[in-house]
Structure 1
Amino acid sequence: MKFDAKNRLIRILRLITFFGFAWICVNHSAYAQAICKFTQLSHVSNTRFTFGDIVIPRDVPDGAPIATIVFNLAYDCPINPPAYPLNIGGFSIKYDGALALATQFPGVGQFNTAYEGLYKYTGLRMTNMDTGQVMNPLGFTTTEWGTTITGANPVSGMIRMKIELIKLSDGIYKITQMPNDSRPPVFVVRLANRNIDDPAAHNRMVVTHQISGTLKPMQQSCTVTNSSPEVRLPPVGASKLNLAGATAGDTGFNIGLTCRAGSNVYVTLTDLTAPGNTSDLLTLTQDSTAKGVKLRVSQNGRPVRYGPDSRVPGNLNQWYVGPSASTSNIPLSVQYVADGPVSGGTVKGVATFTMSYQ
């Protein structure tokens, strides 16, 4: 009897032990399967972005963006405390580049150049909008997106990515038509369970570019009606310019324009006598005989600084005139400025102006 009771007790303990291990395993499995999801999307999904209609500014330099979008991915994460097997808890956001080729510009990747058209002459740059970090665009590279999502409470958030289409060469101006299709992935975003070291178990979003819309160079929006205006300043006595910085002879003039709607008008003035001049004082020509004086051009009372002769957007000292639809002239004025002891004579300065339509 005692022997039988002892055997029964052993069997009961074995059963209790078995069920105890089963309970632990079930709980480990439940925690390990916590999934952080992209909002309203399935576990493994594909999504696309498009730049829409693209207008390329004239003379845009290689390496400059010709189109930009901000791409958003919303996510919802449940509670995820530390659990078997890694016992870390929470989630992390991982970014995987997917482009095939590096380019001459840092942070810019390119699809295989076998693709004709848009992808042969452009690259893509991705930037984390929350940290400002330019992400590695190339395939087989994983980067942590940002702060770890802790597992103590449910969390909802937004992944914000700036995606730029970068001009690589002037071949882009030759494209007359874009196909309506998409190419291999640009990048992949994964919502990773930190309890599991297995990328296949992470919720991932594959992001591709959908080619749509049109691509065309920006047309010249304005015609200059007086391309070489000559401005005559009144004679001024040297006594009015007896101190450095003194001004006199303020004279207004206009650059006349005929414009059609569709762009923003910018202009750069260049000192023809000293092309490297970036100040707001125009150098006199060599045949000027006056000494100690220069010329200053102003727009709406603000001195204009000189810059390189270039239509490139963002050119040094380029300034905004206005929308082409409402621009018919550029009102300016010019005056003498003393920059040293003044002696009488003739004063002549020559500046060029370069229009840019953006």
Structure 2
Amino acid sequence: MALYGYTIGEDRDQNTSNGKQLDVYRFLIPSAPTTSITPTLVGTVNLAGTVTTADLEGLATNPTTGRVSAVNEARVTGSTTPIDPTVIAVNNVDQPFASATVSPTRTPSNLLRFGFESGADFGGQPTALYNISGNKTTTTGVPVGSSLYKITTANPGTISLVDGFGAPTTAAQTQGTQPTNPGKFADGLAIDNLNPGRTRALASDFSTTDGNGNQLYKVDLLTGELSAPITLRNSSGQPLNLNADSGLSFTNLSGSSQRLLGWLETGAVYEIAGYQDELATSGLGLGSATGTNGAGFATATLLGNVNLPNAVSGVVDYEGFTIVNE
């Protein structure tokens, strides 16, 4: 058995007239830092006329089946409208490749997701597919912030906004024009299925365009609330200063040390340590100042770069990320 990472790219030829050709790649997760990582093409998801926003930015591994699903982002990039009312989950995009799409029913029927960027993971009791959707800059005319959504695993299932904290859900939050977590941008999601709990989940932000640097947030799966930020540092103790869309995933492998890996759309893989103290703290509070990295800090170390077609040039972004034990 070995740990493999999966990612999915944007439309390969940037030509919507022949559908959205989204390539899925698989690569071995290194146990220690290395120079470069060679990926293998698993298959291609072709979405033609299905959705307005066909970028599948949220990748997630179902702990029960071991199969990978993807969720599309909510909006057309660079545009304030429209918010795509069609939510799709594309299942089984791992190896062996056997993609199939379902369209969860929106609950309530006028629900529209917030944000331009997206992350996903399976978790909770019972297991559901969670999608975090966020916006990192006000230049698009949308506030900076994030909201959490829950997609049930039935076919086609339902999608609903997770919002059980603070004031009642507003019409703007339901309509996707205001976030439930204002000022907190996240576009990667990882749920700890080895040690389940309502706040055993983390969201990632490797962007500086939202004005607050690279960080993690604890996520409450029952209320959708994000914690105060957990600042990401490099191995020298300096604040991490990357600016790219991200993915996040736990290695859910029983009987071994659990690992948390971060992902950049360019193919860079980071291992994150020191989050254990923060995640172990009850509720959404942060860890003790006597912990591994002090209160509210974690360390990210570059493991290597996956050599993905056109990733470095920025022609194709690879934003979804998940890990499978195979």
- By the TM > 0.5 criterion, same fold? no
The structure carrying a bigger helix percent of its residues is 1
TM-score scaled to structure 2, two decimals? 0.22
Please tell me whether Structure 1 or Structure 2 has the larger radius of gyration of its CA atoms.
1
TM-score scaled to structure 1, two decimals? 0.21
